[in-house]
Structure 1
Amino acid sequence: MAKGHNMTFTPPVSSLSRRALMMATAAATGLTLTGCQLPKTKTTASTKGWDDTLADLHKRTFQWFWDVTPPKTGLTPDNWPNPDFCSVAAVGFALNACCIGAHSGYVTRAQAAERTLTTLRTFWNGPQGPERAGVMGYKGFFYHFLNMGTGLRHDTVELSSIDTALFITGALTAAAFFDGDNDAEKEIRKLGVALYERVDWTFLERDNGLISMGYHPEPGLNGHDATGRIIRSWDRYNEGMMVYHLAMASKTHPIKATAWDTWAATIGVTWADNFGEPHLGFAPLFGHQYSHVWYDYRGIADAYMRGKNIDYFINSQRATVAQRNYAIKNPGGFKDYSGDVWGLTACRGPAYTKGKVDGREVQFFEYSARGPQTGDKEANDDGTIAPTAGISSVAFSPEICLPLIHTLREKYGSDLYGEYGFYDAFNPSFPKDLPSRVGHQTPKAGWVAYEYLAIDQGPILSMLENHRSGLIWDLFNRSPVTGPMVRRGFQLAGFQSTGPAGDWLKAKP
């Protein structure tokens, strides 16, 4: 899920991860657009706007996690209807979903607790070790993908720092939510914390003070050091912030307290107008969303952001508004781009092929990281819009994300909206005479990927809930179970309260 420094793209691979994609995609930096109206950035939403459309999407997206996750293991598949392997990150989002489902009355608290406990037991009891096969993880980390039947390492995927982090934040959220005195909820709290404390973050700590993206037990692989760790570290601005928060806050295996400053020293290169107000750029919106699903950055800032007089929440607001500005400008001339139809991120795409759009030749992609074109470095924009991109920013910028949600429902109807909410992606510009092995042409939306990806569904549900009630933010940042850990990580990184919304950070860890 990390980005690279050169704008190069690879042919489609069936199980290509966001990390692999972003190692080949640079963060967006570039031009200022004129003539685009920017809603005034603010630290909290001015209106909720919750209605039947949002409620239906919320319920359907929850139901996806509940229905596709095997109740006997909790191994949520990477995508549906093709559950080839479990995604460890998906399980983190599924644990959030259990909390949201119980909170919303979609399932009983007992049902949600049973599913959660089964999941945590699966991951706690799964074999850990240095072996190349027959294990679920090593040093407390988990492999990126797991076999749906056995829960063991899928193929030769990497031991993943970011996917482990996404799982751990979900496990800790569950530990915060299930605060009852019965045996099941007590065990959920015990396992959620134990899984976090078992992770040896120092195992992936590199000599440069940053955290490696992962590890392979197979020796001599390109892009790896002599220990098997991936050379690429979590640097620059992206979703990797949460890895540092967890690793620095750990009581059992913390990394150096200087890690955040080391990371922060790498992020300034992406600070630019980026099609809107100045902010740290990252082309696909998921990089502005994943850490924010759990960590509440409103009214708190580290030294870098205090120097810019904003916080990371406002940075994500600005990135969201900038994507809408980009769609209004529409430099690529793609169909349907507008102020109410927009959103680029990592998602499915129609095909790895070239085709004509209004007489221009366009390179199309299958699964790929997508973002605005910036200057002479062209980010990957082939006209493919992902509903998750804009919807998952609803907690940042409801004034532009709510109209997007309603327009997608009303304009495209059942072409884009199915049993479990919005399909992963669509492309009205993809020529109808070109073949696609991962989607179908529709009357209204053009090409549509008729599938659901867990790491796209997860932010939709969690950020809708954060917009509606702040549930995940409140549980993760302010509960007695997880609050001290979160505050410790923030305070070690030099975060300070910059307004009333961040006063909770002033408490001792």
Structure 2
Amino acid sequence: MTLSPPPVTLSAEDDALLDLVQRQSLRFFDEGGHPVSGLARDRSFIDRDPANDLVCAGGSGFGAMAFVVAVERGWIARGAAVERLSAMVETLGRAACHHGMLPHFLDGRTGDTIPFSPQDNGGDVVETALALQGFLCARAYFNGEDAKERALAEAITALYAAAEWDFYTQGREVLYWHWSPTSGWALNHEIRGWNECLIAYVLAAGSPTHPIKPAVYHQGFAAGRDFRNGRVFEGIELPLGPEGGGPLFFTQYSFCGLDPRGLADRYADYWEQNRRHTLINYRYCQRNPLGHKGYGAACWGLTASDDPDGYAAHAPTNDTGVISPTAALSAFPYAPNEAMAALRHFSGPLRDQLWGRFGFVDAFCPSRDWTAETFLAIDQGPVVAMIENFRSGLLWRLFMAIPEVRAGLQALDFRLPPSPAART
């Protein structure tokens, strides 16, 4: 059974609404970025910026993608974006890297590592992969003969070349998430699937300097306990992933750049995987077996976000009554009609509750009369990127044409979609 989305015709009003949401969410990275480096803050608030210098690596990669979209749509001047991205990359280039990997958090002024936890105070493979995904898209877009664009491209290439992916295998057939200069491999967190981490394996396999062997993907990521599924949820068979599919960011983070249309390997067709996962999440919220207030066909989307008790990876198996607007809005490529219904609801009856200076707030929980006062980089960024991939396929075309990306996919035995240059 193929669950392809039906054709979608957007009205002029719909198109204007998508413009508005993308532009407002972009402001998180543009106006809300760190005042010195321009890197993305981890989170900001409805009425103020954080009073610290903490920025995040992965979120800054999503920000880089947002700036590409902004230039393409005429919202930011090309030269201004190049200046901003150059400042971001310059800070990352002198940051305290750890065998070439960026930390999860760093100081936006100095580039020093800010520990995520006492033992997570060094390299973070997944954050680095998400950062590189975005900056490599920027390298592909800003490819002119202008000296500043050439310098930006060279600096991004140097960031990628520095990453020692092979070191992060410990000589074994799996990538490890963290390494600490004080605690070494103490966290010992293996990156196994199915989850949001596919991008790390693709970039690791395609590295021109420190590539991993294909067995690291097949015996590591693809050998995870929750990798293969094949069971039926909400009337839909799910090829990969945990019970109920997991949070929706599994279908979004790696696929801001990776184009799932026609992308397949021996384990799954990734368009089908992501489409099915999205519809399971949607149907679960529509069915609302726990009877949470507010859920329905126009109010859905479970993913990682802030919630009344802190932060959680919301999913059908971890449903606390929290809806995260990013979940539905970043699902536009997979379920456009369902996503548009949610967008109309969020921007119509719920606008006064949810809309703010950087777009929609991170989450809300009608059952507990709670609305987040925060915006998160890893949630605002995919809204801009995935809506753009739905509208034009821009970031997918850019990323899938990158030679190192294609080399990585080929090394891992993926069947590639047609050349991006031939895609619409």
> TM-score with structure 2 length normalisation?
0.91
Matched, 1:251 2:208: yes
Give the counterpart letter for 1:304 in structure 2. Y
Q: How does 1:336-355 map to 2 (within 5 A)?
A: 336-351=294-309
Q: Which has the higher helix share?
A: 2
CA distance in 2, matches of 1:314, 1:448: 33
Residue pair 1:197, 1:253 contacting (<8 A) in 2 also: yes
Q: How does 1:127-206 map to 2 (within 5 A)?
A: 136-155=96-115, 156=118, 157-158=120-121, 159-206=123-170
Partner in structure 1 of residue 414 of structure 2? 495
**SS of match in other structure, 2:185:** coil
Count of equivalent residues: 404
**SS of match in other structure, 1:368:** strand
Give the counterpart letter for 1:41 in structure 2. L
Gap regions ≥5 residues in structure 2:
none
Partner in structure 1 of residue 397 of structure 2? 474
Residue pair 2:36, 2:108 contacting (<8 A) in 1 also: no
CA distance in 1, matches of 2:19, 2:40: 23
Matched, 1:242 2:242: no
> Deviations for 1:429-480, whole angstroms, at most 9, x for unmatched residues?
01xxxxxxxxxxxxxxx310021001000100100111111111111112xx
Partner in structure 2 of residue 107 of structure 1? 76
> Deviations for 1:25-72, whole angstroms, at most 9, x for unmatched residues?
xxxxxxxxxxxxx9x622x77225252211110110112210011353
Give the counterpart letter for 2:61 in structure 1. G
**SS of match in other structure, 1:146:** strand
After TM superposition, give the deviation of residue 108 of structure 1 in Å.
Answer: 0.5
Q: More deviation in 336-345 or 146-155?
A: 146-155
Does the C-alpha gap of structure 1 residues 506 and 464 become closer, same or farther in structure 2, counting only changes over 3 Å? closer
Task: Compute the RMSD of aligned alpha carbons.
Answer: 2.0
Residue pair 2:98, 2:179 contacting (<8 A) in 1 also: no
Residue pair 1:487, 1:505 contacting (<8 A) in 2 also: no
TM superposition outliers: structure 1 runs of 4+ over 3 Å: 155-158, 267-271
Residue pair 1:179, 1:185 contacting (<8 A) in 2 also: yes
Matched, 1:321 2:279: yes
Residue pair 2:91, 2:108 contacting (<8 A) in 1 also: no
Q: How does 1:31-46 map to 2 (within 5 A)?
A: 41-42=3-4, 46=7
After TM superposition, give the deviation of residue 402 of structure 1 in Å.
Answer: 1.1
CA distance in 1, matches of 2:297, 2:57: 35
After TM superposition, give the deviation of residue 207 of structure 1 in Å.
Answer: 4.4
**SS of match in other structure, 2:208:** coil
Give the counterpart letter for 1:504 in structure 2. S
**SS of match in other structure, 2:271:** helix
CA distance in 2, matches of 1:257, 1:336: 46
Partner in structure 2 of residue 124 of structure 1? 93
Does the C-alpha gap of structure 1 residues 71 and 268 become closer, same or farther in structure 2, counting only changes over 3 Å? closer
Does the C-alpha gap of structure 1 residues 89 and 276 become closer, same or farther in structure 2, counting only changes over 3 Å? farther
> TM-score with structure 1 length normalisation?
0.76
Aligned-pair identity (%) = 32
**SS of match in other structure, 1:264:** helix
Does the C-alpha gap of structure 1 residues 276 and 294 become closer, same or farther in structure 2, counting only changes over 3 Å? farther
Partner in structure 2 of residue 413 of structure 1? 351
Matched, 1:291 2:254: yes
CA distance in 1, matches of 2:235, 2:30: 38
Residue pair 2:58, 2:127 contacting (<8 A) in 1 also: yes
Select 1:274's aligned residue among 233, 240, 260. 233
Does the C-alpha gap of structure 1 residues 151 and 48 become closer, same or farther in structure 2, counting only changes over 3 Å? farther
Give the counterpart letter for 1:323 in structure 2. N
**SS of match in other structure, 1:57:** helix
Gap regions ≥5 residues in structure 1:
1-37, 127-135, 220-226, 306-310, 352-365, 373-378, 431-445
